[in-house]
Chain A
Amino acid sequence: MFKELATQFRMSVVFMVIFTVFCGLLYPGAITLLAQVVFPQQANGSLVTVNGKTVGSSLIGQPFDEPQYFWGRPSATSPFAYNAGNSSGSNLGPTNPAFLGSIKANVDAQRKANPDMAEKPVPMDLVTASGSGLDPHISPAGAEYQVARVSKARGLDPAKVRDLMAQNTQGRWLGFIGDPGVNVLKLNLALDALGGSK
């Protein structure tokens, strides 16, 4: 029995080393090499550059609260919203008074910022924190809710804003898997690229 114990122990150590080399180093190393050659843009974080300056990632949302920008979803990352070095959801439960209070505050803020939409219900995604705290999208309804405000602030025709909205919407896969989302950062950059009054 002791001989068996020693044999199996030796094999365990040897195989740990073998698997570390194959699965822990060669596998991720080979994937990195392939990824950097075939899909360099995605492999490095889908970064977006404007005039040679990195302004974000097309997959990661950013905080906005000025009227001329579309706003993303509330974010629970700390110490500031949309901290992509420390992803986090709110983890607040459905009956927690702190949760109910935060939703109320978000609803009030949305109503105040979008007086043209006072009669309409506030889209749920605009007042609830996303799971990652980095959600790059809002629902098409959430974007539509803000069109009037953004058009006014920029002096643009709402139809033009809706055009850009449609161009920056990620649809469902095959037309029915997942939910459509408007990419807030890409939409705002497209608006800024138009220039003109802010």
Chain B
Amino acid sequence: MTTNQWVQLLFFFGVLFALVKPLGLYMAGVYGDKPFWGEKWLGWLERLFYKLGGVNPKKEMDWKTYTLAMMLFSAVGGFLLYLQMRFQALLPLNPAGQSAVPPDLAFNTAISFITNTNWQFYGGETTMSYLTQMAGLAIHNFLSPVIGTATVVALIRGLVRKETKYLGNFWVDVVRGTVYLFLPMAVIFALVLVWQGCPQTFANTQNAALVEATSYDQPVTNSAGATVVGKDGKPQMTHTVVTEQPIALGPVASQEAIKMIGTNGGGFFNVNSAHPFENPTPLTDFLELLAILLIPAALCLTFGAMVGDLKQGWAVFAAMFLLLAPMVYLCGVCEQSGNPLLNKMTAATDGAALADGNMEGKEVRFGVVDSALWATITTATSNGSVNSMHDSFTPMGGFVPLWMIMLGEVVFGGVGSGLYGMLVFVILAVFIAGLMVGRTPEYLGKKIQAFEMKMASIVILIPPLLTLLCTAVAVATGGPGTNNPGAHGFSEILYGFASMSNNNGSAFAGLSADTLYNLMGGVAMWFGRFWLAIPTLAIAGSLARKKVVPAGAGTLPTHTPLFIVMLISTVIIVGALTFFPALALGPIVEHQKMVHP
């Protein structure tokens, strides 16, 4: 990598490091029990929400009621979103006249957005009306991260509180997260994005007169969809001259802002943040990258502040960062070294090679390193937006995002869900350490016992199970819809189901939808979200009831480098043992084929 590329990476992480603590402490205020200065500014809006919703903010819930509220809220939201997509043709704000979304696609998409996955088996500008985008999909861009944060806050309360069954009020956590965190951030960020060039309008697609007309040939098809063959035995073609460029617009900036802040990742347009209207300049690229990572990273410090020991938060943050950094480097190096097959091929013609790294599927304004950084971060967190096409990465460059997803979205992960996933790994690491030294494992003064371990095992085992099972079914039934042959086609399927099962949402986008993929993917996303959230809340409920054991000489400190290494190893070993055989069939084989053709 070049010096400039190193400077870009160091600057990015420098800014991130500077911001996590202030934001983390701010969020600790939002979700804490003490009076909070933000109430002076926005307390009226918070109280308005309670009044409209009929909530008594003082009334707390036990873990079962909290879970029930979370599940019902998500299910109701998903059902209404499904209906909205099915009936979008009859609803207003549909200037392009988009028709009803087919049932299997609407099922997949509804679950995708309520689970913070934002997997997209559709192209936004050709499928969804403006109303569906902003008053359907984008509401869940607010709600799914807010719900994720509420869940992790409940878990933290479980660790902090003693001998109680109460974990807080779900509706209060949802309202406060929206009012004090996501809504203000989204408003500011959306306006910055418009300033830089993201459209924000309800007007229909604009047609521009092309400076130079272009044309294309298309085969003629009969009513059955088959190609018509002419007298000369070749398919008949129609020649079309194009003099106008349709330019799709819409309320893009408002959706883009919350899509990045809430680790959602569902793009307004088909190509997501590679589209110049979603991500017009190097500045927006930098800010969008920062927005992806900011809240999941700062939540580590929120955790530290809420348990009364910031070092605990920094330890979790350090483990996550150390899992991330080498992968950013690997992806950057692979993409910068490019594709030897291309260099060889062009050199064979007349001795001159192609300049620069792998630019297929990348945008000039971002270049190689910002694309590699984005790919790693968007998959480490559960954002899943893309500013370059992962499908066209080099095999090992594409291995990095796949691997980050397979680690279970715990390296910063989704807003809220990443931290609770990592805290479950912490529980596992504490347990393993306890076995090694022969003591009852405990974390932050709470004993880790059989019930917590059972729940933690469910959380850790569900996503890999879903990933491998769905991939196996897809391949066994013929693996339809891959855009590339061989090992790369297998990677497309594996990536798709890893992404859905872990609620990431990015894709090797050559994979195309069919009914089986839509249905299976929808089920995988549902279980990948809620069968992790429910056991997590069960752990929270169980921990809250326990006494606090004072730390003794035999207590394993959980903020030391030793423990950080222990935690990192646990995450890597679980991920590697589970997925190595599948990875060997995909990116690793393809890499061999590329290097030794």
Contacts and interface: CB of A to CB of B under 8 A. Distances in A.
B417 interface: no
Interface in B239-292: 240, 242, 245-249, 251, 253-255, 258, 269-271, 274-277, 280-283, 285-286
A195 interface: no
Contacts of A30: 187
B183 A92 contact: no
B49 to A, nearest CB: 6
A53 B441 CA distance: 73
Interface in A56-102: 56-57, 59-60, 62-66, 69, 73, 79-97, 99-100
A93 B590 contact: yes
A111 B358 CA distance: 20
B194 to A, nearest CB: 4
Contacts of A28: 134-135, 138, 200, 251, 254-255
Contact of A134 (B183, B195, B275): B275
Interface string B34-77: 00000000000000010011110000000001001100110111
A192 B364 CA distance: 24
Contact of A137 (B211, B364, B508): B364
Given A35-B201, A88-B270, A103-B360, 17 more contacts: A5-B72, A28-B255, A43-B194, A44-B203, A54-B206, A69-B212, A80-B215, A87-B275, A103-B345, A107-B354, A120-B352, A121-B354, A124-B355, A137-B364, A177-B286, A178-B365, A179-B367
Contacts of B487: 95
B336 to A, nearest CB: 11
B282 to A, nearest CB: 2
B127 to A, nearest CB: 11
A79 B582 CA distance: 36
Given A43-B199, A87-B125, A8 B4 contact: no
B339 to A, nearest CB: 5
A100 B214 contact: no
B349 interface: yes
B139 A20 contact: yes
A95 B211 contact: no
A31 interface: yes
A19 B144 CA distance: 12
Nearest to A129: B360
A116 B260 CA distance: 45
B364 A85 contact: no
A174 B146 CA distance: 34
Contacts of A129: 360-361
A100 B280 CA distance: 29
A63 B4 CA distance: 31
B7 A176 contact: yes
A92 B139 contact: no
**CB-CB nearest 4 A-B residue pairs:** A178-B282, A179-B367, A24-B135, A131-B274
Specify which of B183, B202, B352, B508 lies most central, judged by the most chain A CB atoms within 10 Å of its CB.
B352
Interface residues of A, number: 109
Interface string B155-186: 00000000000000001001000100001001
B435 interface: no
A119 B456 CA distance: 62
B428 to A, nearest CB: 31
B216 A79 contact: yes
A89 B311 CA distance: 44
A88 B200 contact: no
Nearest to B280: A59
B214 A80 contact: yes
Given A103-B345, A134-B275, A178-B367, A19 B590 contact: no
A94 B590 contact: yes
B274 A89 contact: yes
B398 to A, nearest CB: 8
A131 B365 contact: no
Contact of A56 (B208, B254, B345, B388): B208
A16 B487 CA distance: 44
A151 to B, nearest CB: 18
A8 B349 CA distance: 70
Given A18-B52, A31-B254, A128 B360 contact: yes
Given A12-B72, A64-B211, A179-B365, A84 B594 contact: no
A27 B254 contact: yes
A87 to B, nearest CB: 4
Nearest to B369: A179
A182 to B, nearest CB: 8
User: Which among A14, A35, A38 has the greatest number of chain B C-beta atoms within 10 A?
Assistant: A35
Given A25-B135, A128-B360, A91 B247 contact: no
A109 interface: no
Given A15-B171, A87-B270, A120-B352, A66 B206 contact: no
B597 to A, nearest CB: 8
